[in-house]
């Protein structure tokens, strides 16, 4: 079974330009929503058995990454904290993004309820979603009136 469509929802920041606008960051587990400042790069591919998603999250602690599946959307969010040295610093180049991030990937109905496994190692968050359809057998028992 080939998964025909996996959409990555992107905001205005992917189009570049001098005025980078923050992405809206939604998290129902916090009282005050914050804004995502950046979106990690991702690779999405599939094999016959699984859909693979890999995100670059170098310097992000495992405790600060949240992977949620809500309404057919895989939401990967978290924060990368900046480690600044003490004292006076002369910066020559700044290309790394810090602060809150979020990536939203829409999943096809065929895989959104399947087994999902996520691991963060060596700065790479890997998510694997099984494409196998698990048939659930529901036993039929006698009701109280059917003796």
Whether the model pTM is above 0.75: no
Tens of pLDDT, residues 35-60: 788 999 999 999 989 999 999 999 99
66's CB contacts (< 8 A; 6+ apart) are 27, 29, 75, 76, 77, 78
CA Rg value for the chain: 20
CB–CB of 129/50 below 8 Å? yes
Tens of pLDDT, residues 1-44: 555 555 554 443 344 444 444 444 444 444 555 678 899 999 99
For the chain, domains (ranges, CATH) are 7-83+92-130 (2.60.40.790)
């Amino acid at each position: 079974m080939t998964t025909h469509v996996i959409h990555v929802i992107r905001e205005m920041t992917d189009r570049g330009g001098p005025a980078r606008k923050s992405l809206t960051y939604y998290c129902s587990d916090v009282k005050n929503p914050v804004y995502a400042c950046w979106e990690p790069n991702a690779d999405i591919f599939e094999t016959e058995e699984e859909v693979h998603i890999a995100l670059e999250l170098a310097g992000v602690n495992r405790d600060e990454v949240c992977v949620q599946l809500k309404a057919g959307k895989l939401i990967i969010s978290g924060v990368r904290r900046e480690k600044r040295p003490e004292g006076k610093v002369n910066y020559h180049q700044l290309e790394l993004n810090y602060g809150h991030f979020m990536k939203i990937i829409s999943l096809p109905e065929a895989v959104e309820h399947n087994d999902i496994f996520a691991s963060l190692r060596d700065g790479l968050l890997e998510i694997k979603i099984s494409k196998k359809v698990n048939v659930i057998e529901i036993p039929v028992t006698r009701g109280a009136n059917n003796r």
